[in-house]
Amino acid sequence: MRRLIERFRHAAVANVDQSFEKLSALAFCLIGEFLLCSRRLGFADARIFDLLDDVKKKRSLIPMVLAETFHGLDALSRGETNIFQGSPLLLQVWLMDHMGILSLPTVATYGPADYVGRKLQLFGCQTEKEWTYFLSRKDGQNIRWNCHWWKCPYPLLRSPNRDHIFLVGLRSVSFYKGERIVSQFGLMPMIPSSGNRPFKPVDVAPSIITKAIAGLDNAHRADETFMRFHAFEMPKAYHDWLKEKVQDKEARLKEARKTFLKNFKKTHKRRRNDRG
């Protein structure tokens, strides 16, 4: 991206085509640096060029950014990489507001331009150790679950016959669990109806994209039928259900790790004997 910036930074614009070319290069660098980061620092995925036409037509890239961010966080948690692939800007905005690092807005008509005018309320976190300590002390009682000034519409909860919503990313198809984010909209979480379990994020294919988009046409959206609340709370039934789901998942992952290590040791021992 550095070469691209150097080429167009001082480039003269003589006609409409050259202006569009320069703006496209700028948009490519912004998307590649802040919204859809590559695992190679200083580089951007060439597939971002295909998105520039969507930007020109004012189509939202947020679902794709969410998919790549979720997939990037999953890859980090599984130890597949040590470089985040997704949107650092999205994570920063989420962290600043939900963790109470920025002061509350003071204007009724809040917009992106008002973000830079808000005061920083946390000054003691400068190192990774300090941030880890700060985040470890946070719990459900002191997190801003409902940032109403964002004026976000109610989220989609689930696709037909599914308990999740598909997200088509730049490199893969991912998903999110809708009932686990309604707290951020001031709504009480409910136990979802039984549905097909989501798949592991996979590479994008035309057939998968077609099915994902078709599932969004009839997706169920959160609405006023949900019970509203003003502070963090979780119904006991939902708490017990979520705890059971998490424990089952952790047990499966633990068993999978044991199987992997067992097979790895057998393979390593076999190769060592073959060399001997």
User: How far, in Å, CA of 164 to CA of 92, rounded?
Assistant: 25
Residues 6+ apart with CB under 8 A from 61: 31, 35, 36, 51, 54, 55
Phi/psi for 204 (5° steps) reads -70, 135
Q: b/e per residue, 189-220, with b = 16+ CB within 10 A?
A: bbebeeeeebeebeebeeebeeebeebeeebe
d(CA 276, CA 259): 26
> Distance between CA atoms of 176 and 204, rounded to whole angstroms?
17
Q: Which residues contact 139 (CB under 8 A, 6 or more apart)?
A: none
Please list the alpha-helical segments (H only) found in the chain: 2-9, 16-30, 52-56, 62-77, 88-98, 128-136, 206-217, 236-275
The residues that bridge with 216 in the sheet, in sequence order, are none
Distance CA 73, CA 83 (A): 10
- The model's pTM: 0.69
Q: Digits of tens for pLDDT over the chain (276 positions)? A: 666 667 766 677 777 677 777 777 777 777 877 788 877 777 777 778 778 877 778 778 888 888 888 888 888 877 777 788 888 888 888 888 888 888 888 888 888 888 888 888 877 788 888 888 888 888 777 888 888 888 888 888 887 777 788 787 877 777 888 888 888 887 888 887 665 655 555 555 666 667 666 667 777 888 767 777 766 677 888 888 888 877 887 787 778 778 878 887 888 788 888 876
